[in-house]
Copies of this chain bind each other. A is one copy, B any other.
Amino acid sequence: MTARTAPRRLDARAEDFEASFAELLTAKRETAVDVNNDVAAIIAEVQAKGDDAVIACTNKFDRLNLEGPEDLRIPQARLDAAAAQVPSETLEALKLAAERIEAFHARQMPQSMSFTDEAGVELGHRWSAVDAAGLYVPGGTAAYPSSVLMNAIPARVAGVERVVMVVPTPDGVENPLVLAAARLAGVTEVYRIGGAQAVAALAHGTDTIAPVDKIVGPGNAYVAAAKRQVFGTVGIDMIAGPSEILVVADGENDPAWIAADLLSQAEHDPSSQSILITDDAAFADEVARAVASQLQQLSRQDTATASWHDFGAIITVPSLADAVPLVDRLAPEHLELAVTDPDALADRIRHAGAIFLGRYTPEAVGDYVAGTNHVLPTARSARFSSGLSVLDFMKRTSLVRCDADSLGRIGPAAVALADAEGLEAHGRSVSVRLNR
């Protein structure tokens, strides 16, 4: 891929707009690396040899010298020490974030229900938490304490008893902020492992690490492939892609604010994507200049520049209403509506992971302290999936109860359908109970 030197500029009035927009929509932002065979081999090794395989992989890939299974776990005392190491301002901010995340997610708790219908059949469903959840936290630069809160707190709110975190410590380097966040979020076990071997250990269990029922959290290509492969043995969350922001803004905004918003996601990764849609061409130019200017001062300048030039875009539309179908086709992870009447626009939009309403709601508040979850669907998957929630850590059991009378009312139809499908034993299990 040729690196671009400026973001795409699209004009919805232009003749070639549909072609340009389609190109933007389908532009590959990630090069798929096929690690499936390597990952399958690691998973098979962990299934066969348990702790020994996990230790061998960890010593090899993370350059550690673990001697036995007792070295896998990061003990509670280390979590306490890590928390003591974190500056108090940061710790207070983490606590505020944790409280707000907990309060919002508590409102997501689903209701069990039960009713008796006119046929006399009692029907319902009951929600319950999974027994154990595994949380993958990447090592290195992408290890974010905020992500620990966002993944662990919904599990705790759902009522999950074991919340197990795995985090690699390459060359033995621990991230105190991540450990402090784990302590704050109520994580019950932490292991210093990563990669496919960590996912395999969580899914299949070892002598030291009891298996979990659901694995969540972002990771590299190996982790993503491993999650895909263990899906079925355990549940998994979505496969996260690089982050995205789409800002719909009118000309009444401060260009510097909107530029800052676009850069807040561009700085994540060279594959991140920041898009502005506006009905004001002059404002579009001002934002473009503001982004260029702010890029000069940014510590993550190289990353943000690569993202903005390669995948960024500025789209001008005749009116804000024309933004609606474009937003739905992009189905962005994050959508900011920096306009006078954001509700009118939001009501017409069908596909977005999260919507940030109005000029004073920069997307970054959602990354940390709004209370909503920052694990959101990427790569247009907001068309069919949702951000992480307590529901990801719960499951529903259906309940059915008939008595002789109500079975007498609905049973004959079941027998008729079983007959039609050639499933004789299905029909018999009902008919033996009829006419008693």
Contacts and interface: CB of A to CB of B under 8 A. Distances in A.
Contact of A213 (B177, B368, B384): B384
Given A145-B420, A365-B410, A402-B361, A381 B432 contact: no
Contact of A367 (B110, B117, B414, B432): B414
Contacts of A17: none
B256 A432 contact: yes
Give the one of A234, A239, A351, A420 with max B CB within 10 A.
A420
Contacts of A353: 397-398
A372 B123 CA distance: 8
Contacts of A9: none
Contacts of A103: 117
A25 interface: no
A102 to B, nearest CB: 12
A256 B128 CA distance: 33
A300 B264 contact: no
A37 to B, nearest CB: 10
Contact of A107 (B115, B213, B422): B115
Contacts of A412: 93
B370 A146 contact: no
Given A398-B353, A413-B96, A421 B260 contact: no
A228 interface: yes
Interface residues of A, number: 127
Say how many copies of this protein the assembly contains: 2
A267 interface: yes
Interface stretch (A165-173, A309-317, A423-431): A423-431
A100, A141, A396 — most chain B CB neighbours (10 Å)? A396
Nearest to A335: B397
Interface string A386-421: 110101000111111111101100111110111111
Most B-side CB within 10 Å, residue of A213, A419, A423, A425: A425
A425 B298 contact: yes
A353 B93 CA distance: 41
A237 B155 CA distance: 22
B115 A365 contact: no
A309 to B, nearest CB: 15
A119 B419 CA distance: 61
Nearest to A423: B267
A191 interface: no
A50 interface: no
Contacts of A107: 113, 115
Contact of A371 (B117, B228, B356): B117
A299 B427 CA distance: 12
Counting from the closest, the 10 A-B pairs by CB-CB distance are A235-B384, A354-B398, A386-B396, A93-B416, A93-B413, A357-B401, A260-B429, A362-B429, A263-B425, A372-B398
17 contacts: A93-B420, A96-B410, A97-B417, A104-B123, A110-B110, A213-B383, A228-B228, A235-B384, A264-B428, A358-B403, A360-B407, A361-B401, A362-B433, A366-B398, A368-B418, A377-B395, A387-B398
Given A146-B417, A294-B428, A386-B395, 20 more contacts: A96-B410, A100-B117, A123-B370, A128-B351, A145-B421, A231-B239, A256-B432, A298-B425, A354-B399, A360-B403, A360-B404, A360-B433, A361-B400, A362-B429, A365-B407, A369-B414, A370-B402, A370-B410, A372-B398, A372-B399
